[in-house]
């Protein structure tokens, strides 16, 4: 059984096409007071990056997005310690971003109030 962690690359394969995005019709905000929780997003550093500032820019369209839930994306794993626990680094990374976001962006969308992560198996020897 292979216990190694597969490396993965995240981010956009191609840069967004601004000409295409500017032609998209504006989305009507039907109920701007309706509280919304974005139940699936990712945050990553490289390649490129999509962190709290980018997420908040995307959630500031006029909808009332009160909170988000981060879903694992193999980002910021620990580089040492038991292999099975290396994915815990991703949860630590996102929890730190969420805490910083709460202090830096009070009153806006609460980032990663939920975190869906995982470990790869038993850390017992």
Average pLDDT, the chain: 85
> Residue 47: inside a domain, yes or no?
no
> Residue 1: inside a domain, yes or no?
no
**Number of domains comprising the chain:** 1
> Residue 46: inside a domain, yes or no?
no
> Residue 110: inside a domain, yes or no?
yes
Do 39 and 7 contact (CB within 8 A), yes or no? no
Instruction: Name the residue with higher pLDDT: 41 or 49.
Output: 41
H-assigned helices in 2-112: 18-23, 52-58, 88-104
Q: What is the DSSP string of 3-24?
A: -SPPP---S-SS---HHHHHHS
> Residue 92: inside a domain, yes or no?
yes
Q: Which two tokens stand for residue 29?
A: 């905000």
> Residue 125: inside a domain, yes or no?
yes
> Residue 113: inside a domain, yes or no?
yes
Domain span at 102: 65-125
Q: In what order do the strands lie in the sheet with 35-41?
A: 35-41, 64-71, 110-116
Q: Which two tokens stand for residue 111?
A: 């980032």
> Residue 94: inside a domain, yes or no?
yes
- Closest C-alpha to 73, from 58, 56, 55, 61: 55
DSSP tag of 30: S
Predicted local confidence at residue 14, as pLDDT: 65
**pLDDT tens track for 72-86:** 998 999 999 999 999
**pLDDT tens track for 94-124:** 999 999 999 999 988 999 999 999 887 765 5
Does the pLDDT value for residue 125 go beyond 70?
A: no
Instruction: Name the residue with higher pLDDT: 59 or 3.
Output: 59
């Amino acid at each position: 059984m292979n216990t190694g962690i597969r490396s993965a690359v995240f981010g956009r394969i191609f840069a967004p096409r601004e000409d295409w995005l500017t032609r998209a019709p504006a989305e009507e905000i039907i109920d701007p007071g309706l509280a919304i929780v974005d139940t699936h997003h990712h945050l990553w550093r490289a390649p490129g990056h999509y962190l709290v500032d980018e997420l908040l820019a995307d959630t500031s369209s006029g909808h009332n997005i009160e909170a988000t839930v981060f879903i694992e994306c193999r980002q910021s794993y620990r580089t040492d310690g038991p292999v099975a626990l290396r994915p815990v680094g991703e949860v630590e990374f996102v929890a730190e971003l969420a805490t910083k976001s709460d202090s830096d962006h009070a009153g806006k969308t609460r980032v990663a109030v939920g975190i869906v992560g995982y470990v790869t198996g038993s850390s017992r020897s």
